[in-house]
A and B are shown apart, each in its own frame.
Chain A
Amino acid sequence: MNSKKVPKTAHQRHQKELKRDQHHAIIHWVVTGFVLLVLLYIIGYTFTAGFKNLSLQFFISSDFDRGIAPQLFNTFYILILSMIPMLLIGISAAVYIVEYAKQGTMLKILRFATETLSSVPSIIIGLLGFLLFVTNFGEGPRWEFCRLAGALTLAILNLPWMMRTAEDALRAVPNSLREASYALGATKLQTIFRAVLPASIPGLMTGALIVSGRVIGETAALIYTSGVAGSSNGWFNFNLIHVPGDTLAVHIYTLFADNPTPAAQQGQTATAVVLIALVLGVNLLGRFFERRLTKRFSGE
Chain B
Amino acid sequence: MAESNDPKDTKQLTGEKTNVGLVERAKDTAMSLKDRALEEAREYKDPQQTQVWKSIFRVSHERSDPRNRSLAILSNVFLHLHPAKINRDAVRYRYTWGMGGITFYLFIVLTFTGVLLMFYYHPSKIVAFRDILYLEHDVPFGKLLRNMHRWAAHLMVITTWLHMFRVVLTGSYKKPREFNWCVGVVLLVLTLLLSFTGYLLPDDQLGFWAVTVGTNMARATPMLGNEGPFGAQLGLTPYNDVRFGLLGGSIVDANALLRAYIWHCIGIPLVASIFMAVHFWRIRKDGGISGPAPVMLESEMKVLKKK
The answer on A and B forming one complex is no
